[in-house]
Structure 1
Amino acid sequence: MDQGIAALWAAGLGIAGAISSGVLSFRAGRRQVQDQASAEHAHWLRQQRQEAYIAFLSVCDAHQRKIEETWERADREAAALGSLGNTDEDVHAWLGMLPFLFESAERQAMDRVEMLGPPAAAEAAWKLDEALGDAFQDLRARVEWLVHQSGAARVEAVSGPHWLRSQVRMTDMRAALVECARDILSTPKST
């Protein structure tokens, strides 16, 4: 009888060991799957952020180029013709749809940056967007001055140094966003 009890104990301990081993294996496997899913999500998020930052920068670059091209063209034509006109309609003809040309694409790209985060990237993107808005206002003041040729139309906004400050600010804000994006994308685990 002692051998029978010993056999039952041995079998019971073997079953308990097998169950314990199975539970531990299950937990380890589950943890590994969770870690893998977390790593894949972090990778996916980094890719999505990179695409969002690139899309936003591309739209902003195109917007900045258009502002600068319009500024230069207005200066050339005003120098050649002596004036760009004399009415508010002439101002509108020069600026036309420029304020709205990039609005939809810029808004959509900004939305992606805000959604994918983190807040530091959205803040840097907003600062770049604000710099572009300020540069457009400088362009508007320049065109109004060239059209009306009056010294009262924000002379400080149409001078070369002021325009240069706008260009430097746009460049600086773009560089700040790129640096922020680089920091975010280079961290092993995106938050």
Structure 2
Amino acid sequence: MDQGLAAVWAGVAGLAGAGVGGCFAVWGTVIGGRKAVEAAQEQEARAARAEHQHWQRQQRFEAYQALTATAEPLVTWRDMVPWEEARSGIDPVRTAVHRVQMLGPAGAAQAALRLPRIGAQATRAQWPWAAMTDPCPPDPGAPRDVAGYPDLEWQPYREEFRRAFEAFTEAAREVLDQPPG
């Protein structure tokens, strides 16, 4: 009977060992599955961040390019231009600046914001000249006797606008030169 009892106990021990081994196998499979899911989620999150950074960089590039394209003609003006042309030249700059402000970063947005401010100052500096030349001046109370006014008032703003444009292009270049990440 000892041999039979020993065989039973050996069978029970083998069965218990198989059960414990099976539990550890299931536990290992569950842990491995969780780790695989976590790794897949992390990889998906990294891919989403990289895609967003690429999209943001592309949007910034397009916004900077649009602002450069609208502001560059104002930088190249050599002489006073008709008031309406000056004012209509600033409006697209304002629109492009809004997009740059939305996309950032702060340094580029601040540099861009100077352009329409200086452009508006330059436009206001032309009001007396516009009052002399336009049948419907923008400011009816503007003086009508302003000899040599355009050259004296326009030049400082043109130089300031050029410097602001250069500062913006430098800020944009710094942003676009940064590696993604």
Question: What do you get for the CA RMSD once the two structures are aligned?
Answer: 2.9
1:170 to 133, 136, 161: 161
- CA deviation after TM superposition for structure 1 residue 116, in Å: 1.0
Look up the equivalent residue of 2:63 and give its one-letter code: A
CA gap 1:29/1:154 in 2 versus in 1, 3 angstroms: farther
Answer with 140-149 or 16-25: which moved more.
140-149
2:41 to 21, 30, 34: 30
1:118 to 82, 105, 117: 105
- CA deviation after TM superposition for structure 1 residue 28, in Å: 1.0
Task: List runs of 5+ in structure 1 lacking aligned partners.
Answer: 74-93
Query: What's the TM-score once normalised by structure 2's chain length?
Result: 0.74
Separation in 2, partners of 1:64, 1:154: 25
Q: Could you say which residue in structure 2 is the equivalent of 1:109?
A: 96
- CA deviation after TM superposition for structure 1 residue 51, in Å: 0.5
Answer with 42-51 or 132-141: which moved more.
132-141
Is 1:2 aligned to 2:9, yes or no? no
Deviations 1:41-94 (A, max 9, x none): 0111011011001101111122344xx2552x7xxxxxxxxxxxxxxxxxxxx4
- CA deviation after TM superposition for structure 1 residue 146, in Å: 8.7
- CA deviation after TM superposition for structure 1 residue 103, in Å: 4.7
Separation in 2, partners of 1:158, 1:188: 45
| Bigger radius of gyration among the two | 2
CA gap 1:109/1:146 in 2 versus in 1, 3 angstroms: closer
Higher relative CO (Cα under 8 Å, sequence separation at least 6) belongs to: 1
1:1-191 to structure 2, matched below 5 A, reads 1-65=12-76, 68=77, 71=80, 94-95=82-83, 97-141=84-128, 150=145, 153=146, 158-159=150-151, 163-189=154-180
Answer with 46-55 or 114-123: which moved more.
114-123
1:176 partner SS: helix
Look up the equivalent residue of 2:57 and give its one-letter code: R
- CA deviation after TM superposition for structure 1 residue 102, in Å: 3.0
- CA deviation after TM superposition for structure 1 residue 39, in Å: 1.0
Query: What's the TM-score once normalised by structure 1's chain length?
Result: 0.71
2:179 partner SS: coil
